[in-house]
């Protein structure tokens, strides 16, 4: 599918972005491992999260559609999963595969998990190494670093693992495996990654201890089903935070956006660039903060994005590159080599495609340098089948001269199927 974007007038109005993807995955998984029923309100109805639902169903968990489109997960309990009779299919979703590997490691059954062409290229040794250390047997190409992966799990021992990467997927896989071991499992990260697993595990009744970059979970807890209200995904909101900042005359109100401090790096980076974003109202649900965001057009300037800020905005870097292309002056993005192992090589993708639009942009081994402020030219662009690249380029198209055509835009359904409609709504409300 191609997405056509024309130069846009101001974007105005009020929107609700879809539910948080990370929280939606975790609610299904923890709901499955708990006893009793978990009701998920605001579950993200997008391909990645449905992959998790289908995998959990294949492991014997009953998941139904409830009233008001809430998802109802009938918990199987920690010991209740069954051996899947088919290959588990994680599709494009790294979160599904890595978190599920942690759960599968704790099951005394034989399972096989695979994914699409993109996911079969992404590194899985970052989870298979610690899970093997805990006693799981995991097989796959290149020493279990590439899917398809086979897992024969059960009887795990607790470990203390110093992760070489700041990755919530690695941390979560180990903590989830830790639930199936006797004793205390600890993960130490090099920088703080998103902590949704920790918050939700606590809400479901697990015992966790946190100190700085170290988090420990007590094995064999009793988990109880919960009502989970999923806030809007700040990673989806990011496209409209940037669009509202760069399209002259715009003012957008984004309702009920998740504001977990491990995810709000985008607000810090855009503020440093001179964006006008007000946080209007905040509340908390099951340990997760949320609020309304009001963004209005403003003059942006370049900035430096690096260090501990990177894990707090890792998925927003493609759209931040678009903001940087419009901003006056130089933006430097460093310490972001992780972007090379996402759904596509997101550094190369943005450098190549923004380059085609006439942006002065240079690739670094761990980031990029953007000289902003030159006019953008609409042209035919490739999304590399990556949802975040497709939507970031669509935002760039709003301020380009002429028409922009984005190829492979069907990837948008991975995390934000409604994106084109929400964009149109803001364009027509003028």
Ligand X SMILES: O=C(O)C1=C[C@@H](OP(=O)(O)O)[C@@H](O)[C@H](O)C1
**Site of interaction with ligand PEP (CB under 6 A):** 48, 93-95, 315, 342-343, 388, 415
* Spatial CB neighbours of 105, under 8 Å, sequence gap ≥ 6: 131, 134, 136, 138, 151, 153, 156, 173, 177, 180
Q: In the complex, what is the shortest distance from the CB of residue 217 to ligand PEP, in angstroms, rounded to a whole number?
A: 21
Q: In the complex, what is the shortest distance from the CB of residue 92 to ligand PEP, in angstroms, rounded to a whole number?
A: 6
Instruction: Look at residue 24 and give the partner it binds from ligand X, ligand PEP, none, a contact being a CB closer than 5 to 8 Å depending on partner kind.
Output: none
427 known member of a binding site: no
Nearer to ligand X, 193 or 226 (CB): 193
Q: Could you give the angle at which helices 265-272 and 317-326 cross, rounded to 10 degrees? A: 10
Please say whether the beta carbons of 257 and 231 come within 8 A.
yes
22 known member of a binding site: yes
112 bridge partner residues: 150
Query: Which residue's C-beta sits nearest to ligand PEP?
Result: 94
CA–CA distance, 75 with 38 (Å, rounded to integer): 7
Q: In the complex, what is the shortest distance from the CB of residue 367 to ligand PEP, in angstroms, rounded to a whole number?
A: 16
Which residue shows structure tokens 């370049």?
302
CA–CA distance, 405 with 139 (Å, rounded to integer): 42
Nearer to ligand X, 234 or 400 (CB): 234
For residue 345, how many other CB atoms are within 10 A of its CB? Answer: 18
Q: Could you give the angle at which helices 234-246 and 317-326 cross, rounded to 10 degrees? A: 10
Instruction: Look at residue 343 and give the partner it binds from ligand PEP, ligand X, none, a contact being a CB closer than 5 to 8 Å depending on partner kind.
Output: ligand PEP
Q: In the complex, what is the shortest distance from the CB of residue 113 to ligand PEP, in angstroms, rounded to a whole number?
A: 14
Residues at the site binding ligand X, with contacts judged by CB under 6 A: 22, 95, 167-169, 172, 193-194, 314-315, 338
Instruction: Look at residue 264 and give the partner it binds from ligand PEP, ligand X, none, a contact being a CB closer than 5 to 8 Å depending on partner kind.
Output: none
Nearer to ligand PEP, 38 or 95 (CB): 95
- Active-site residue, from 20, 315, 382, 386: 315
Q: How far is CA 265 from CA 235, 279, 295, 332, 421, in A?
A: 10, 14, 16, 15, 26
Nearer to ligand PEP, 20 or 292 (CB): 20
Nearer to ligand X, 192 or 194 (CB): 194
Q: How far is CA 195 from CA 189, 200, 322, 415, in A?
A: 11, 9, 27, 20
Q: In the complex, what is the shortest distance from the CB of residue 303 to ligand X, in angstroms, rounded to a whole number?
A: 21
47 known member of a binding site: no
Q: In the complex, what is the shortest distance from the CB of residue 341 to ligand X, in angstroms, rounded to a whole number?
A: 8
401 bridge partner residues: 377
Active site includes 67? no
167 known member of a binding site: yes
Nearer to ligand PEP, 93 or 285 (CB): 93
Nearer to ligand X, 76 or 187 (CB): 187
Look at residues 165, 109, 161 and name the one whose alpha carbon lies nearest to residue 131: 161
CA–CA distance, 14 with 141 (Å, rounded to integer): 48
Collapsed DSSP state (helix, strand, coil) of residue 144 = helix
Instruction: Look at residue 167 and give the partner it binds from ligand X, ligand PEP, none, a contact being a CB closer than 5 to 8 Å depending on partner kind.
Output: ligand X
CA–CA distance, 327 with 376 (Å, rounded to integer): 12
Instruction: Look at residue 168 and give the partner it binds from ligand PEP, ligand X, none, a contact being a CB closer than 5 to 8 Å depending on partner kind.
Output: ligand X
Collapsed DSSP state (helix, strand, coil) of residue 283 = strand
122 known member of a binding site: yes
Q: How far is CA 293 from CA 16, 216, 260, in A?
A: 10, 34, 14
Instruction: Look at residue 93 and give the partner it binds from ligand X, ligand PEP, none, a contact being a CB closer than 5 to 8 Å depending on partner kind.
Output: ligand PEP
Q: In the complex, what is the shortest distance from the CB of residue 257 to ligand PEP, in angstroms, rounded to a whole number?
A: 16
CA–CA distance, 195 with 172 (Å, rounded to integer): 9
Active site residues: 315
Could you list the residues known to form a binding site for 3-phosphoshikimate, using ranges. 21-22, 26, 167, 169, 315, 342
Binding annotation = 21-22, 26, 94, 122, 167, 169, 315, 342, 346, 388
- Annotated binding-site members for phosphoenolpyruvate: 21, 94, 122, 169, 346, 388
């Amino acid at each position: 599918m191609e997405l056509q974007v024309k130069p846009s007038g101001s974007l105005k109005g009020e929107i609700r972005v879809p539910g948080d993807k990370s929280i939606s995955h975790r609610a299904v998984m923890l709901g499955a491992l708990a006893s009793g029923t978990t009701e998920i309100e605001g579950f993200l109805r997008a391909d990645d999260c449905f992959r998790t639902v289908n995998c959990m169903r294949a492991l014997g968990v009953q998941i139904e559609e409830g009233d008001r489109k809430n998802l109802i997960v009938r918990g199987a309990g920690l010991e209740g999963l069954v051996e899947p009779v088919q290959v588990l299919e994680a599709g494009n979703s790294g979160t599904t595969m890595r978190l599920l590997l942690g759960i599968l490691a704790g099951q005394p059954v034989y399972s096989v998990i695979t994914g699409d062409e993109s996911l079969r290229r992404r590194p899985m040794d970052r989870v298979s190494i610690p899970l093997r250390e805990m006693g799981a047997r995991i097989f796959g190409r290149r020493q279990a670093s590439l899917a398809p992966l086979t897992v024969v799990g059960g009887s795990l021992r607790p470990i203390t693992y110093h992760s070489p990467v700041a990755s919530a997927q690695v941390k979560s896989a180990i903590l989830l495996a830790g639930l199936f071991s006797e004793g205390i499992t600890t993960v130490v990260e090099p920088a703080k990654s998103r902590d949704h697993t920790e918050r939700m595990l606590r809400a479901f009744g697990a015992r966790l201890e946190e100190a700085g970059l170290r988090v420990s979970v007590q094995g064999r807890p009793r988990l109880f089903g919960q009502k989970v209200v999923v806030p809007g995904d700040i990673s989806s909101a990011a496209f409209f935070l940037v669009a509202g900042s760069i399209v002259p005359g715009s003012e957008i109100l984004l309702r009920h956006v998740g504001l977990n401090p491990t995810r709000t790096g985008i607000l810090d980076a855009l503020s440093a660039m001179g964006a006008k974003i007000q946080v209007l109202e905040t509340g908390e649900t099951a340990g997760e903060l949320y609020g309304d965001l009001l963004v209005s057009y403003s003059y942006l300037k370049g900035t430096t994005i690096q260090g501990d800020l990177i894990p707090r905005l890792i998925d927003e870097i493609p759209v931040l590159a678009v903001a940087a292309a419009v901003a006056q002056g130089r933006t430097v993005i460093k310490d972001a080599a992780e972007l090379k192992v996402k759904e596509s090589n997101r550094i190369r993708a943005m450098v190549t495609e923004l380059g085609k639009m006439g942006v002065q942009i240079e690739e670094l081994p761990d980031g990029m340098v953007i000289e902003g402020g030159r006019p953008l030219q609409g042209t035919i662009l490739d999304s590399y089948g990556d949802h975040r690249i497709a939507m970031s380029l669509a935002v760039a198209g709003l301020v380009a001269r002429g028409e922009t055509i984005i190829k492979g835009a069907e990837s948008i359904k991975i995390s934000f199927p409604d994106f084109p409609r929400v964009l149109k709504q803001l364009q027509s409300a003028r």
